Chains A and B, each alone.
Chain A
């Protein structure tokens, strides 16, 4: 029995360090599950705005949990308290855990002080989805917008988050932009902190 005693034994399950977790799941399995989620919600609503809201709510629950988990796993139970800190946490840490990569870009809105944008050339949830013409500007990225809202809300940065298709020159497919509009109180607090 070589190696016995090398593995540290923890008598109490609470003493065990939190495992990194399995880092990947099958993309196909996820795509089918997500497709069913959209199809199910479609049967429950009678307009597109409602569908978008339901997807966002589904994402919100994910976001709230992801924040909790990542703060515990990566940050030693600390979380970001500053605006830019939490944004880059979403843009890199959250994105990496959920989608296996950092988001393509994080920008500040040019017209409004309280708006930030996270853009993705090809959002993972939209990889296999073509929106029918009669659905207009509907974007399944609403689910991801919900995740972002869940993370921000949980961390004390209430915001309105929406997903939009933005056409890019020279590319066949539009990219998806997650638009984050922070609540007034967040910016006031941020100004106070200096």
Chain B
């Protein structure tokens, strides 16, 4: 069974604004998540510069022995990425779905301040539901 370990959202300056643990395997403390987020932000920027192809938008998938990291960057520079078990399918779909939830429940919320950490009950609720496995399978139709 493929599993999702964790989900991150980073703002356009590389600050972590949302982090959610879904597995038990890869629990990290707050400092580590912040570090990973800003590290990924820089690596993503460097990869754009290093790419031999012109018009590259940065790394979309990082495959390691023990995990896969899928990344999706929105037009405004907010990055969504998910760390999951190697070979997990339909992660692009999931990230797009999370992006959709972000635009609905975060950006349309009058109490959310742009670029600040996300603390929205409805967003949390919907992301948790979205990440549940049957939901992922459903998205992959």
**Given A130-B120, A130-B123, A132-B119, A32:B108 Cβ within 8 A:** yes
Instruction: Give the residues in chain A near B32, CB-CB below 8 Å.
Output: none
CA distance A36 to B120 in the complex (A): 17
The number of inter-chain residue pairs (CB within 8 angstroms) is 42
Instruction: Give the residues in chain A near B123, CB-CB below 8 Å.
Output: 130
Decide if B109 is an interface residue (CB 8 Å cutoff): yes
Decide if A131 is an interface residue (CB 8 Å cutoff): yes
Residue of B with least CB distance to A36: B110
CB distance from A69 to the nearest CB of B (A): 27
Q: In residues 111-162 of chain A, which contact B (Cβ within 8 Å)? A: 128-132, 135, 140
- When the two chains form their complex, are residues A131 and B111 in contact, meaning their CB atoms are under 8 A apart? yes
Decide if A193 is an interface residue (CB 8 Å cutoff): no
Decide if B56 is an interface residue (CB 8 Å cutoff): no
Instruction: Give the residues in chain A near B104, CB-CB below 8 Å.
Output: 31, 128
Residue of B with least CB distance to A32: B108
Residue of A with least CB distance to B120: A130
Q: Which of A42, A128, A172, A173 contacts B108, CB < 8 Å? A: A128
CA distance A42 to B125 in the complex (A): 26
Contact with A along B90-121 (1 / 0, CB 8 A): 00000000000000110111110000000111
Decide if B122 is an interface residue (CB 8 Å cutoff): yes
Instruction: Give the residues in chain A near B109, CB-CB below 8 Å.
Output: 35, 128-130
Residue of A with least CB distance to B111: A132
Instruction: Give the residues in chain A near B121, CB-CB below 8 Å.
Output: 130-131
Decide if A28 is an interface residue (CB 8 Å cutoff): yes
Decide if A38 is an interface residue (CB 8 Å cutoff): yes
Instruction: Give the residues in chain B near A131, CB-CB below 8 Å.
Output: 111, 121
CB distance from A116 to the nearest CB of B (A): 28
CB distance from A179 to the nearest CB of B (A): 23
- When the two chains form their complex, are residues B108 and A130 in contact, meaning their CB atoms are under 8 A apart? no
- When the two chains form their complex, are residues B110 and A42 in contact, meaning their CB atoms are under 8 A apart? yes
Contact with B along A12-37 (1 / 0, CB 8 A): 00000000000000001001101111
Known: A128-B105, A130-B120. 19 other contacts (CB 8 A): A28-B108, A32-B107, A32-B108, A35-B110, A36-B110, A38-B110, A39-B110, A128-B108, A128-B122, A129-B122, A130-B105, A130-B111, A130-B119, A130-B121, A130-B123, A132-B111, A132-B119, A135-B111, A140-B110
A interface residue numbers (CB < 8 A to B): 28, 31-32, 34-39, 42, 128-132, 135, 140, 172-173
16 contacts between A and B (CB under 8 A): A28-B108, A31-B108, A35-B109, A35-B110, A38-B111, A39-B110, A128-B104, A128-B105, A128-B122, A129-B109, A129-B122, A130-B119, A131-B121, A135-B111, A140-B110, A173-B122
By Cβ-Cβ distance, the 8 closest A-B pairs, closest first, are: A38-B110, A128-B108, A130-B120, A130-B121, A35-B110, A31-B108, A130-B122, A39-B110
